[in-house]
Amino acid sequence: MAKTKDISLIGVPIDLGADRRGVDMGPSALRVAAIESRLASLGYTVHDEGDLVVRRPSGYGAFGPKLKFLEEIGAVCDELHRNVSSAMERGRFPLVLGGDHSLAFGSISGVLQHKRSVGVIWFDAHADLNTDETSPSGNIHGMSLALALGIGHPKLTAIGGVDKKIDPSKVVIVGARSIDPGERKLIRELGIKVFSMHDIDRLGMTRVMEETIDIVRDGTDGVHLSLDLDGLDPEEAPGVGTPVIGGMTYREGHLAMELLSEAGCVVSMDIVEVNPILDHRNKTALVAVELAASLLGERIL
């Protein structure tokens, strides 16, 4: 549960980090799924800050297909880091509504303006640890965790300050099942903890989350949760741009959020990769809202 009773909703309707269109409508889908009233029913004062403006160019720009839309994504993440920082300065919990996962390094940069050390939980089927040298696609949504670590193009890693980066020993990826060779190499080099779906199957979600919380909370001032809906199985969350079969169940997702709520360590959150074009009656956005509510204190009894 958040330590503050004020929440800032910050919409980021960006799909420039991914190949499939439609994820820019994610913030609207989450609002249609009644995220504001659901959180207000838990006793929070919710301030909807509206959506950032995302400029849509006609082509990739100077950096071409290896870093697609770098300038535009950089501008959005720079603005987002300032909005997240402003929300925290006002004592609010920043809840960022995406949009594709490229936005996350902007969110984290904003949190780091107020926290000396931040743990990060990356709920995702993917590691998002590529760079322009290792990425098979050139899509920046697959580079966002690397950028938050200070690894990548300097135009992006400079956002928020080159010194405002996360410590790889305080990062945990949960639910991974699709990792590229370059990402695998970086994970080993940096010692990043990854709980793959194999680990969740073998250990159970309770133990995975207990170990995750121990890692991200140790020596940090707070934890940022980046929740990519493709971490769930496509049966649970069909409306995502890069689905991978064999993901977390609905209840595993809720249990993870409930355990994080009990730990009381999460100070900010992203909800990303909700794509209503690929969804069924807004099912994925509804699940996302339910998970956010569990994180923020909603209980069965």
Q: Please indicate whether residue 128 is annotated as part of the active site.
A: yes
Torsion of the alpha carbons at 124, 128, 129 and 135, rounded to the nearest 10: 140
Annotated catalytic residue: which of 51, 72, 79, 273?
Answer: 273
Is position 254 annotated in a ligand binding site?
A: no
Rounded to whole angstroms, the Cα distance separating 95 from 76 reads: 16
Q: Please indicate whether residue 81 is annotated as part of the active site.
A: no
Rounded to whole angstroms, the Cα distance separating 222 from 284 reads: 27
Both tokens assigned to 158: 């400079």
Rounded to whole angstroms, the Cα distance separating 277 from 198 reads: 30
Is position 126 annotated in a ligand binding site?
A: yes
Q: Please indicate whether residue 114 is annotated as part of the active site.
A: no
| Contact assessment for residue 72 and residue 31, using Cβ atoms and an 8 Å cutoff | no
Distances (CA, A) of 286 to 237, 252, 253, 276: 9, 16, 13, 11
Q: Please indicate whether residue 198 is annotated as part of the active site.
A: no
Annotated catalytic residue: which of 24, 100, 199, 230?
Answer: 230
Annotated catalytic residue: which of 128, 180, 183, 290?
Answer: 128
Q: Which residues contact 68 (CB under 8 A, 6 or more apart)?
A: 16, 17, 60, 138, 139, 140
Q: Please indicate whether residue 124 is annotated as part of the active site.
A: yes
Is position 153 annotated in a ligand binding site?
A: no
Annotated catalytic residue: which of 132, 228, 236, 298?
Answer: 228
Rounded to whole angstroms, the Cα distance separating 151 from 285 reads: 31
Annotated catalytic residue: which of 141, 183, 224, 270?
Answer: 141
Annotated catalytic residue: which of 24, 79, 100, 124?
Answer: 124
Annotated catalytic residue: which of 72, 79, 81, 126?
Answer: 126
Q: Please indicate whether residue 24 is annotated as part of the active site.
A: no
Is position 128 annotated in a ligand binding site?
A: yes
* Closest by CA position to 257, among listed 219, 231, 218, 283: 231
* Closest by CA position to 79, among listed 105, 56, 57: 105
Which residues are identified as catalytic?
Answer: 101, 124, 126, 128, 141, 228, 230, 273
Residue list for the binding site? 101, 124, 126, 128, 228, 230
Binding residues for Mn(2+): 101, 124, 126, 128, 228, 230
